[in-house]
Structure 1
C-alpha cells in the first residue's frame, strides 16, 4: 500500500494495457515530509512500478532571481556571510582584494550585516558600498511595510535593472505576494522551504515529491498521501502558544490546498488506518483537512474483499 492506504493497484489500473487512461509520467505522488518518500518508493519498487524522486535546486537560487532572494534575507536580518558576499562583489569599486578583506572579516561573524557596516564606516574604500547597502535595505523594509513584500523587493529589481518581464522574476514576485504578510515571514519561508520549485518534465515513471516541491507543478493524476493528524497537519516539534499553533495550522492548510490543486483530472486522498510511530503501533486519525471538504465532492473507494483460498477436502478413504 502507498502511505495513506491507497493500494498500488490503483496505479496499475490507471496505466495498464490498452485500457490504461494515463501513462506513468502523468501520475504524481505528493507527501508532507521527505522521509515518507522511502516508504512509498519501497512499495512501488516491490510491485515493479517505475518512479522518480524530484529534488531540484530552488528556482530562486539561480540568477537573476537569486539577487531578489539574497536581498530578502538581508532586509530580514537573516543573511549569512555567504549570502552577503555575492551582493558585495557586485558593487562598483569592489575588486578581488577588497572582497577578500570582507570575507576574512565576516568569516566567523554572528552578525555579518552589522560587521560589514562597521567595516564600511572604518575603511574609506568600503564607504560607498556600505552606504548603498544601508539605503537599499532600509528602502526594502519601508516599502514592504507600507505596500507589501512584493513591492518592497521590487526596489531590488529597479536597483539591478532586472527585466520585469522575465518569467522567473515574475514568479518570484507572485510567490512574495502569496506567502506571508511580512518580509521576515517570507524570507524564513524561502530558507525553510528550499524545494518550492517546478520539476523538470517527467519521464515515464511515477513522480514522488514533497508538497513544497509541488508548487507550480501539475499532474493529470495526483495521489496525496499521509492525510493523518501529526503528518498533515505536521505535529510541531515544540509546544506552541495558541496564536502560534493557529498560524501553524493555517500554513499546513495552505500546503494541503497546494496538494489538492496539483491534480488536473483525478485526485486521490489517502491515509493509513494503522501505522507505527517511534517504534510503537497505533491508529492514525484522519486529517482535519479531509472533513473540511464538501462530502459531495468525495467518493470513497470500494472495499476489496480478500480472496480466501479454497481448500479441497481430503477423503479419509481412498476412491474405489
Structure 2
C-alpha cells in the first residue's frame, strides 16, 4: 500500500486523482456506505453496511471495477454492483481513496501508461517481496506487471503458513510462482533453529496431509526434546484448570510465566481461560486483542442487560440506542441529551418526554418509540427466565447476533461466537459449575449478580506490559512469535478445525496450516 500511495502522489494527474486526495480507512469507508444507503433509501437490513463494504473490498482485491462484475441476472448482486458504483462515484467526487483503491488505481496507472511502466521497471533493478504467501490476486498482478519478464524478483514465503484466505490471500500465488516466472531458482530453508526434533517431526507429519504443497521437511541438529503431551478434558472447564495447573508446575520448574503461551482458534475460548487464571492469581496478557469482557460485542450485550435492570443507566442507553443501526442519529441523541440536562431527568425519561411532547416526530420519533418498545418488550418476555435464557433472548431480539452474522469473514463469526460464549458464561454462573460459584438464583437477581461479576472480571486483572505474565492469543496472532512452552487449547472438531471449515477441503487445509503455525511456535514443550 505504501509504494502504491507514493506512485499515486507522484503521478496524481495520470492517475486521474486530485493532487491532495485523502486516504480513508476501514471505519471511514463504513460510515460512507451507511450514508449512501440512507441517502438512497436502501434497506440496510437487506444490504447490511459491512456486507456491502466486504463486497466492494473483495471486488477491488480481485481487480474488478463495477462494470467488470458478472451479475448473471442476479438481482441482489446487481444491486450490490450499483452500490459499488455509487460508492466509487462518491469517493471520486470527494477525492477519497480507500486501501483497495490504492493498489487497483496504481495497477491501472502503470498498465495504461507504458512509458511510465518502463521507467519504473528500469528504476527498480530488483524486487524483494516478503510473506509472499499472503499476497492477494491484485497484489500478485501488480508485482507481475511491475517486474515483467526482465526485472529479477525474490519472493520469500512459506506456503505452509498461508493462513489468511479469509482476508483474500491466495496460497496459489506462491505455488504457481515457478511456472509464471521462468528460470526461477528455489531455495528451501529447512533447517530450524527454534524447535526440538520432537516438535518438528509432529509439524512435518501434520502438514504432509495437505495436497499441492511446494514441499519441505523441517529439521534441526538440536535435541530430540520432550514428547508432545496430549490431554483430553471432560469439558472446557476441566481443560482450563489443567492448563493453569500445568503452568504452575512449569513455573516451579524454573520457567518464567512469560515463557508460556496459550493459543486458541476462536477469541471466544479465552473467556474461561481468563477466569481460571484470575481465580488462580496468575497474571496474563491478551496479545493482539481485548480481554473477553472488553470486546465490543460483549460490552454492547452487557449494556442492553444493564438497561433491563435499570432504565436510568444513561451510559448503557447511550451505548446501545443505535446498535445495531436503527435510524437514531447523533442529532436525535443530542436533542434527548439536552432535554435530560434541562429537566434533570434520565435519558430514558427524556426519550418518553420527547415522544409525548412532539419534540421528536417522523422517522426519528418512530425509531425512538420502537427502541423504547423493544426494551419494555424484552423486560416482559424475559421475566422469570433462567439467566442464560435472558441473555440468549436479548442478544437475538436486539439484532446483535444477526448484525454480526452479516459481517464479512471471520471477524463477524468471532463476534457471534463471543456472544454465544456469554450465554455459556451465564449458564455456568447460575449452575455453580464454574469455580464452585454459589447458586445465584434466577431472573433479575441472577442478572444483577452476573453483571457485577462481569464488571469485576473486566477490571484491572491484565498484567502490565513488562510484568512476568502468561501470554494468551489466537493462533492467527501467534504467527511470527515463539515461546518455550505452548498450549493449544480446544483441539477438537468444530472448534479446531473450525466448524465452518470441516466440510470444505480447501478451508480444512488452511485449518491444518494454522495448526502447523501453532505447533511450530513451541521451542521446548508443546501441549495439545
TM-score category (smaller protein): 0.3 to 0.5
Q: What TM-score, normalized to structure 1?
A: 0.43
The structure whose RCO (Cα within 8 Å, separation 6+) is larger is: 1
